[in-house]
Amino acid sequence: MICNGDARLCDRKYSDVVFVGTHNSYALDGAGGLPGLANAASNQFINVPAQLGMGIRFLQSQTHVKDDSLHVCHTSCDLYDGGSLEDYLKSVSAFLNDDANKNEVVTLLITNPENYPIEKWADIFKAASLDSLVYNPSSVPGTRADWPTMRELISANTRVVVLMDYNADTTKVPWILPEFDLMWESKFDEVDASFPCGVDRVNGDAGPKLGMSLINHYLDSEFLGILIPDRNAAPTTNSVDSIAAQVNNCAALGEAFKVTHVLLDWADKGQAIEAGRKLNGLE
């Protein structure tokens, strides 16, 4: 069996695989934003199908309510509207349901800043034909050892791990997992290109205790007092050396700070896939 492109990943637990992914994966350059602001509010040069096609298996999206439905929007739908969450998820579903991709495991990290009813989230996943593919544990994993292997996820055809930053409720929808009960995140909107490592967001000591983490490895620059994604630095920021350096900064804090998820802007620039392979010990 081949799992996410390499047989050596199959018998690793999900929690022992490093996933390199896309920050604001829907926020395509020059699309969906106010005239003159599209560039400032975008984070990727290529769309979600192209990201998946290049090997990205971790997609982050920010959602906001528009006309009583969920859209993937950056900060607000007035600033950048990437379309409906349902359409976004359908693009993921189309990839996973393609016979060529039946051995691929994808992680979705979604935000719920406006506390949109969790049951309605489930309805949207169902409408996008993703509900049947989600990893649905009997309880939220309590340790890193509680996660299934990649082989087990693929064999069970539960190939979508869904994480939500805030307002998840596993008593109502058990497969939308509370991110910060499972991992910690580093600082976002970083302007220091050396990317120091530290815990920025977590629920108590849950993340370090579980040994899973997400580093936000994307660089911003300041323009007229506003932080915007630094697209010009992307080839350097997304190099193997830069990504590995931040991972090593975190590793120096101890085993509990092992990096398992990495988010990038402009992921097609630089060496995102090569970095993922190196961090997974595949080359």
Q: Which residues contact 125 (CB under 8 A, 6 or more apart)?
A: 89, 131, 134, 162
Q: Which residues contact 16 (CB under 8 A, 6 or more apart)?
A: 144, 260
Active-site option among 23, 64, 217, 261: 23
How confident is the model at residue 37, as a pLDDT?
52
On the question of pLDDT at 28 being above 80, the answer is yes
Give the pLDDT band of residue 39 (cuts 50, 70, 90).
Answer: low
How confident is the model at residue 171, as a pLDDT?
97
Active-site option among 64, 71, 74, 217: 74
261 carries an active-site annotation: no
Give the pLDDT band of residue 279 (cuts 50, 70, 90).
Answer: very high
Q: What is the pLDDT of residues 204-250, one digit of tens each?
A: 765 566 678 899 999 888 777 777 788 989 999 999 999 999 998 88
How confident is the model at residue 201, as a pLDDT?
72
Q: Return the closest-CA partner of residue 19 out of 130, 129, 112, 150.
A: 150
Give the pLDDT band of residue 144 (cuts 50, 70, 90).
Answer: confident
Give the pLDDT band of residue 79 (cuts 50, 70, 90).
Answer: confident
Q: Which residues contact 41 (CB under 8 A, 6 or more apart)?
A: 27, 32, 33, 34, 74, 75, 79, 80
- The pTM of this model reads 0.94
What phi, psi does 100 have (nearest 5°)? -75, -10
23 carries an active-site annotation: yes
Percentage of the chain modeled with pLDDT above 90:
70
How does the average pLDDT of the chain come out, rounded? 91
In order of their start, the domains of the chain are: 7-277 (3.20.20.190)
